[in-house]
Amino acid sequence: MTEKPKFAMCWAASCGGCEIAVLNIGEKILDVDTNFDVVFWPVAMDAKYKDVEAMADGSITLTLFNGSIRNSENEEIARLLRRKSKILVAFGSCACEGCIPGLANLSPVDELIDTAFSTVSTDPVNGNRPRTSVTVPDGDLHLPELYPVVRPLSSVVSVDYFMPGCPPESHQIAAVIDLVIKAIQGEAELPASGATIGAGGSTVCDECSRTRAVKKIKAFTRIQELEEVDPDLCLLEQGIPCNGPATRSGCGALCPSAGAQCIGCYGHADGVIDFGARLMTAFASVIDSEDPEEIDHILDTLPDPAGQFYRFSLAGSLLGAARSAWEAR
Amino acid sequence: MIAPISGGAGMSGNGGRPRIGVYVCHCGSNIAGTVDVTELRTWVERRLAARGVVVARDYKFMCSSLGQDLIAKDIAEHRLDRVVVAACSPHLHEATFRTACRRAGLNPYLCELASIREQVSWVHTDTASATEKAKAVVSGAVERVARNAPLETLRVPVHPATLVVGGGIAGIQAALEIAEAGHPVYLVERDPSIGGHMAQFDKTFPTLDCSACILTPRMVSAGSHENITLLTWSEVERVDGYVGNFTATIRKKARYVDIDQCTGCGICQEKCPKRVIDNVYEAGLGYRKAIYTPFPQAVPKYPVIDQPNCTYFIKGKCRACEKFCPTGAISFEQEDEFVTIDVGNIVLATGYDLFDPRRVTQYGYGRLANVFSSLEFERMTNSAGPTNGEIVLRDGRTKPTSVGIIHCVGSRDRNYNNYCSSICCMQSLKFAHLVKERTGATVYNFYIDMRTPAKAYDEFYQRVLEEGTLFVRGKVAEVTDAARGPGEEGKLIIQTEDTLAGRQRRIPVDMVVLSAALEPRKDSSEVAKRFGISCSHDGWFIEKHPKLDPVATMTEGVFIAGCATGPKDIPATVAQGAAAAARVLGYIQQGEIEMEPIRAQVIVERCSGCRICNDLCPFNAIDFIADRGVTEINPALCQGCGTCVAACPAGAIEGTGFSNEQVVAQIDGLLLRNLEPTAVEPALV
Amino acid sequence: MTMTKEPKTFEPVIVGFTCNWCSYRAADLAGTARIKYPPNVRLIRLMCSGRLDPTFVLRAFAGGADGVLVTGCHPGECHYLEQNYKTLRRVRLLQRTVHAFDIEPDRLRLVWASAAEGVRLAREIEDMVEAVRALGPLDWGNRPIRQEAIHEMTGGVDDAPVEEPVGVGGRP
Amino acid sequence: MQRITIDPITRLEGHGKIEIFLNEDGNVANTYFQIPELRGFERFCVGRPVEEMPLLTNRICGVCPEAHHMAAAKAGDAVYGVEPPRPAKLLRELLYSGFYFTDHTTHFYALAGPDFVMGPEAPVAERNILGIIHKVGVEVGGKVIQARKHGHAIVEMIGGRKVHPCTAIPGGLTKGITEAQRNEILAMGEWAVEFAQFSLGLFNDVVLGNEAYVDLILGDIYRHETYYMGMVDAAGKVNFYDGRVRVMGPDGTALGDYAPHEYTEWIAERAEPWTYLKFPYLKKVGWKGFVDGKDSGVYCATPLSRLNAADGMATPRAQEEYERFYTTLAGDTPAGAKPIVHHRLATHWARLVELLYSAERIVELASDPDITSPDVHTVPTEVPTEGVGIVEAPRGTLTHHYSTDERGVLTRVNLIVGTTNNYAPISMSIKKAAESLITGGEVVTEGMLNKVEMAFRAYDPCFGCATHSLPGRMPLEVTIRDATGAPVEVLRQYC
């Protein structure tokens, strides 16, 4: 019989949640094993980086890539797997748009290090800071240099599919694996290149069971400051800055159904270039005032616009990073 | 770097790379004088070929028939599916070139104008930088047009009836024109009678023919016309729907007179014991009864009971009118009544309010007895008026020996209104003439500038000059009765600067007439909102285009005429009434209306029903379909502003004609990002 | 250190958004009246300032614009009645947001200009060009951004052969 | 001088990179365990609203997000000086116990287990969960998967999501649980208790029943006499969610204990220029370098540490195991001192004791009448200022410290992540393992690689989050270079 299609899963800078999500698909894992020849999956198996280099270009059928690009090594692996893979999937929020760690792009990388090494509990002892090359009594030691900004996978290589979520929901992962297997067996069509898979085409409100009326907001409220959160009414209408309206559907509106605002981990909907732009315009639209001063007062109740609008998508946004971060180094 | 806008799927309907023709107009030397058109054309050829440009030409006058033929020829020969004309502002020639394209078999919306005249050659001087900017502008237009979709204009049926709001001469004119053409009209007037301000005048400048003589026949035929439903003592409460299909709700205020019984004999008015100062028609100079028709020639002839002033309504007894009415038409139980009507078009001719001269305290109106407002003076000179046409002081007897007429009261004055009320000069000249004619008094006209532009106006000015009226050029500082010398005793002294003589003057007179400004109706902004149109900051209704479309508004099917759009004399007002009627008739004639296909549209499968957009449309075009949990947009109500498109957090609303694709591509084109290669590891398959 | 890369006199590029009814006509008027202003601004016509999607502004900055000028009808004079108020709210929020990206307030301005205010518009443009010139280049043009954003917008790369365009000057 | 580089290529937040320098005699001169990555949460959390911290810091680690979620929520409570209602506290701890149950299960069966069940010398391919299944029967595999499912189910019910929960906010939670959910959890809890006992049984048979392993555990390779840290409740018993942090001396006499807000008096962090991670140590004792003993501020925060620091376990069965643990391993303890176990490999046993505790705790909490109360949030009334939140992460005491402006927007953030506590001891264990296995430049065997790995896997380090996965291993590459630096031999494992 002909050999099985090859499967790879790899991460760059990520937290491991995506891997856990994949493991949480339970029995489906076995389908992967029966239908694919798993050639590279460092967390799960004996994988030789060099073996991948040795493979023919395009010989891996499906590669799930999670994590963002934070250093040269991340980029190297990304480019290698792009060359070796027929279908490269940006898997999870980090790979798709940078995720929470992308917020680092609001400050220059040196500031990140300085801050981490000047906390209240850190010894000021000879103001030690990590250096990329340092000589110790026993010899020289090297640390990889951090890139000035976090970047999503697609800013380094072209990506065939995007699978959003922090992490992607297990049932969605299972569905995608099913689809690919069917496609390989010629029983199904793969979506057009560049498409987003394992998610809905609309936004979270579509899956949210909360009732909605016409929105008019005189002030945004912080969830912990609300005496009584109405369990059935749209959170945004209660003044809670919920990202649901702009966030792609697919999770099943988990957070809103748990009484917490959507924080936007599934990224933007189809055809959108910049998540923040969509959410910004949505919030601006529901502000109930035409008086410049009052508008400013209302906007003051949103203490952190950049963080609110780009919580997950900053690295993948049109601006990508603050100017000071871009210009660092 | 930003990846280039690539051709292909997203770009042109026919798939693959579009075939764009670019035409650079010299506009004689208007453009070519500043922009190096040859350099521009060759740059387009060289750099934009990869973007789909297959033909680039420059030509002396693209808008000429030869220029248009040039495009038509290329569309055929080079199978162009897109056209960019780099010329003047789209507001000038977009229609021209789109029509040219349509004639050549290309959908007109696949043609874009790049304004390199108004926005480049006319505003910049340095050829090099102007040419560079022109390149960017054209590049932007090329990227945009590549993503234009062929569009078809929307068509909606037109209800043949028309609502005319305002029974002044403008409204009457419009109503008659439409009715004469054989279509039903509802003429709504808030006062008891139609006629408006014109009914209060005696003579009309410059011909001095009697106002009543020319107006009354019009009022009568409007009142009796089989196609006109007169709704006086009525106001429009609300308006729904859209062009061709409006529904208006009208409040018919209680008249307390059953017009089916009333013959208009007038006995009730004789018998009514209650006299009321008539502040409206008689400008406070005369009296009327508590049951009244505003003036003898009123149309309709039925009176109304002035409820707040009627003894019965105050004290609960009297009912004199009821007692004496031969037909038992009086009915105190009457209540406001609401009627809803369906109409296809609306004409707003709501007129103006007169500036209250009390506001200019230094002129003493209301304080100094013999200072009169222009309207008071109109009534005084009216043979049917309170003084039977006698020009006398407040005492009602003494003829003035000297009269001062002050122009521009409340106009051309930054404290009140910056604009010129346009009729005051002629009105003041008319007053001067009437004073001379009827009293032989010395007349002074105090003016800032004399404005007599229209037909036979300046001749009238010359005539008044010859009659010996004295003209003092300068703004009057004050009117006072504080005499400084024997000559001023018991007189009104007009303190003014004589800018021709170059000195201050004090001129004692017996009577002062203030030519008050015309102002927008107090409630003009509410009215505008009700009809979905807008007002300028000083309160006049805004026309769709001040020159090219003066009687249309941004809201299709709602037209404006007369002083509601700004001060006008009677001829201009009548002309506008007729013009509005003509526009309405045009629509009715077509049976359906073509609407610009620039509209917003919901991609239902992307709509999450978040309802962010629901409150954004002032035209109520956005509906939430509760059972399906999605929002939809009514294309007929949508005016195409695109606010909801920009607001949709899901990117689920498309803006036809101004899609994100088009605008973003244009931005990239303007910034010349479209000339760059991409820099990522490409996909394999 | 960005400055050193720039020519002596830095010529900022400003993208301007105009509404079809007021500010674009103001620009036309400036033209017909031959009022001069610096060529650094490139205008885009929208039907209404309410059409201004924050994406447009961000795209302009990301695409290399040093400044963005948003213009519309005066409050209360919007040809679509009240849409420019929505623009006002959007731009205010946008200004707060881009601040976190170190984009100075002067680089994103909102100006009301009626169809009659050609001079005013020209002066506003002049003023902004100078303000941005003083701030120096924003230099976002060469930053790597998410590629599929463009993918989504414009479809895949088209490799149809490029045809030599016909170019003829003067008479046909 | 020779240099050996052990460079795991699997990367997560600060994955490990080990440099071993040999002297001319071919003996270990020194080892450096480098963390070559930093993400800068301390910086970019500044400017964010404090209520977002439980959601943002979740993303520090996808394996133990619950720990950060809780620490952040507690810091949030402290910032507002607000006391969550009792039901909210119970629910938070219940969620947390569910998480502990999953996490400890995963670690024992996927990582530690194989080392013992299969043996450190067993072939690579067998030393994983599948190996265990083959050896002790298929049903184990099923049980392990079941255990992870139950744990995640509890987390999802209370936390709203399986990974990266979202319900904890300053003052409590956004939601409670229903009666039906309580019963479900109760059932899972009872199952969990059995499973934990089964696991201890397995450990007892396979490991303690095997001389070689007992020697390995009690051997000197993995023994350090350091201080130990762990959170204890009012009764001095181990608690994961709340209490005071107790510091136990190597000799079994307590150095003292502290409330969260006092942590800066107790903990300081040493920065070295050759790594992106800092070395926390006991301020009161001081930094003496990578050495153990009573005079060195180096401390350890692991399941073993928690047992060493506490007087016992708060649940009956776990308490029994606790006692058995010390009678078996502690040996003779000086009078008045608390029995202490210094053998790092004993951590795996300690972890199973905690596994049983977490299971019993699930049952206890789920049985509490308050657990279904809808009263799960107190609205803060104080002006937010500053606060510290501490929980016991499976990998060590986790400290979040926030300062905010009057709007509750963060102005300063300090995080001491579980694993960081153990950075120094891990480095020491690695060095010790290397020393004991490399002598006279003797050619290193693959066993050695695994033993080095075992040295730090005992700590279950989070910068090896990779090693949490099924049926994972941390790939290592060792290059031996001669004095000139030229490679003599390269040994690889899984890379």
Cβ burial of B391 (10 Å; 0-12, 13-18, 19+) is buried
A143:D19 CB<8 A: no
Is a pLDDT exceeding 90 seen at residue D300?
yes
Q: Given pLDDT bands bounded at 50, 70 and 90, which one contains residue D129? A: low
Query: Which pLDDT score is estimated for C153?
Result: 36
Q: Give B-chain residues touching A273 at CB under 8 angstroms.
A: 660, 664
Residue D149 half-sphere exposure, CB side, CA atoms within 13 Å? Answer: 13
Residue ranges for chain A with pLDDT beneath 70: 1-2, 42-49, 125-127, 329
β-bridge partners, B522:
none
Is a pLDDT exceeding 60 seen at residue D91?
yes
Residue ranges for chain B with pLDDT beneath 50: 1-14, 678-685
Q: Given pLDDT bands bounded at 50, 70 and 90, which one contains residue D12? A: very low
Query: Which pLDDT score is estimated for B676?
Result: 65
Residue A80 phi/psi, 5° resolution?
A: -60, -50
- Rounded to a whole number of angstroms, the distance from the CA of C6 to the nearest CA of chain A is 15
Q: Is D477 helix (H, G, I), strand (E, B) or coil?
A: strand
- How many Cβ pairs within 8 Å bridge chains A and B? 105
Which among D145, D56, D46, D153 is positioned nearest to D402, based on CA atoms? D46
- How many Cβ pairs within 8 Å bridge chains A and C? 131
Chain B, 596-655: which have a CB under 8 Å from a chain A CB?
Answer: 605-616, 624, 629, 646-652
Query: Which pLDDT score is estimated for A195?
Result: 92
- Rounded to a whole number of angstroms, the distance from the CA of B7 to the nearest CA of chain A is 16
What does the alpha-carbon distance between residue B74 and residue D375 come to, in Å, rounded to a whole number?
A: 76
For chain D, the C-alpha Rg in angstroms (whole number) is 22
Distance between start and end Cα atoms, chain D: 26
What does the alpha-carbon distance between residue D387 and residue D407 come to, in Å, rounded to a whole number?
A: 14
Q: Is B468 helix (H, G, I), strand (E, B) or coil?
A: coil
Subunits close to B (at least 3 CB pairs below 8 A): A, C
Supply the ipTM of this predicted assembly. 0.89
The position carrying tokens 């037209």 is B559
Q: Which chain B residue shows the shortest CA-CA distance from A281? A: B647
- D355-391 confidence digits (pLDDT tens): 999 999 999 999 999 999 999 999 999 999 999 999 9
Mean local confidence (pLDDT), D71-100: 97
Query: Which pLDDT score is estimated for B595?
Result: 80
Structure-token pair, residue A318: 């049109």
Query: Which pLDDT score is estimated for B331?
Result: 93
Q: Is B120 helix (H, G, I), strand (E, B) or coil?
A: helix
What does the alpha-carbon distance between residue C101 and residue C109 come to, in Å, rounded to a whole number?
A: 16
- Give, in degrees to the nearest 5, the angle at Cα A245 between A263 and A219: 80
Is a pLDDT exceeding 80 seen at residue D133?
no
DSSP code for B552: B
For strands D487-493 and D476-481, give the pairing. antiparallel
What does the alpha-carbon distance between residue D155 and residue D161 come to, in Å, rounded to a whole number?
A: 7
Mean local confidence (pLDDT), D450-457: 70
Structure-token pair, residue B472: 């003092």
Q: Is B84 helix (H, G, I), strand (E, B) or coil?
A: strand
Which among B244, B182, B345 is positioned nearest to B592, based on CA atoms? B244
Q: Given pLDDT bands bounded at 50, 70 and 90, which one contains residue D449? A: low
D59:A18 CB<8 A: no
B118:C25 CB<8 A: no
Q: Give C-chain residues touching A329 at CB under 8 angstroms.
A: none
Select the residue of B115, B655, B661 nearest C51 (Cβ to Cβ).
B655
Subunits close to C (at least 3 CB pairs below 8 A): A, B
Residues in Cβ contact with D324 at an 8 Å cutoff, skipping those fewer than 6 apart: none
Select the residue of A23, A128, A259 nearest D273 (Cβ to Cβ).
A128
Structure-token pair, residue C79: 């040809």
Mean local confidence (pLDDT), D421-428: 89
C148:A97 CB<8 A: no
Is a pLDDT exceeding 80 seen at residue D132?
no
Query: Which pLDDT score is estimated for B2?
Result: 34
- D41-85 confidence digits (pLDDT tens): 999 999 999 999 999 999 988 888 999 999 999 999 999 999 999
Structure-token pair, residue B204: 């009309």
A274:C97 CB<8 A: no
- The b-or-e profile of A282-316 (16+ CB within 10 A means b, else e) is bbbbbbebeeeeebeebbebbbbbbbbbbbbbbbb
Subunits close to D (at least 3 CB pairs below 8 A): A
Select the residue of C43, C158, C170 nearest B8 (Cβ to Cβ).
C158
- Rounded to a whole number of angstroms, the distance from the CA of C147 to the nearest CA of chain A is 6
- Rounded to a whole number of angstroms, the distance from the CA of A104 to the nearest CA of chain D is 5
For chain B, the C-alpha Rg in angstroms (whole number) is 32
- The b-or-e profile of B291-325 (16+ CB within 10 A means b, else e) is bbbbbebbbbbbbbbbeebbebeeeeebebbbeeb
Q: Which residue has the higher pLDDT, C59 or D31?
A: C59
Query: Which pLDDT score is estimated for D487?
Result: 46
Query: Which pLDDT score is estimated for A210?
Result: 96
Q: Given pLDDT bands bounded at 50, 70 and 90, which one contains residue C145? A: low
Is a pLDDT exceeding 50 seen at residue D477?
no
| Percentage of chain D exceeding pLDDT 70 | 83
Chain D, 412-431: which have a CB under 8 Å from a chain A CB?
Answer: 412-414, 416
Residue B569 half-sphere exposure, CB side, CA atoms within 13 Å? Answer: 17
Edge-first strand listing for the sheet containing D254-258: D254-258, D244-248, D227-232, D299-300
Chain D, 315-374: which have a CB under 8 Å from a chain A CB?
Answer: none
Select the residue of A15, A144, A265 nearest D13 (Cβ to Cβ).
A15
Q: Give C-chain residues touching A290 at CB under 8 angstroms.
A: 75, 82, 85, 88
Report yes or no on whether pTM surpasses 0.90: no
Structure-token pair, residue C27: 């620009």
Q: Give C-chain residues touching A295 at CB under 8 angstroms.
A: 88-89, 92
- D375-384 confidence digits (pLDDT tens): 999 999 999 9
- How many Cβ pairs within 8 Å bridge chains B and C? 242
What does the alpha-carbon distance between residue B54 and residue B212 come to, in Å, rounded to a whole number?
A: 68
Query: Which pLDDT score is estimated for B14?
Result: 43
Q: Is B574 helix (H, G, I), strand (E, B) or coil?
A: helix
Chain D, 154-193: which have a CB under 8 Å from a chain A CB?
Answer: 159-164, 166-167, 169-171, 174-175
What does the alpha-carbon distance between residue B560 and residue A274 come to, in Å, rounded to a whole number?
A: 43
Residue type, B461: Y
| Chain CA centroid to CA B605, Å | 41
* Chains C and B are in contact, defined as 3 or more C-beta pairs closer than 8 angstroms: yes
Query: Which pLDDT score is estimated for C143?
Result: 67
Select the residue of A158, A216, A246 nearest B650 (Cβ to Cβ).
A246
Residue A115 phi/psi, 5° resolution?
A: -60, -45
Hey, how many other C-beta atoms are within 10 angstroms of the C-beta on B678? Answer: 14
A290:C97 CB<8 A: no
β-bridge partners, B249:
B238, B340
Edge-first strand listing for the sheet containing B476-480: B476-480, B492-498, B503-509
Q: Which chain B residue shows the shortest CA-CA distance from A159? A: B683
What does the alpha-carbon distance between residue B479 and residue B670 come to, in Å, rounded to a whole number?
A: 61
Structure-token pair, residue D389: 């939140």
Torsion of CA A297, A298, A300, A301, to 10 degrees: 140
Select the residue of A277, A292, A327 nearest C58 (Cβ to Cβ).
A277
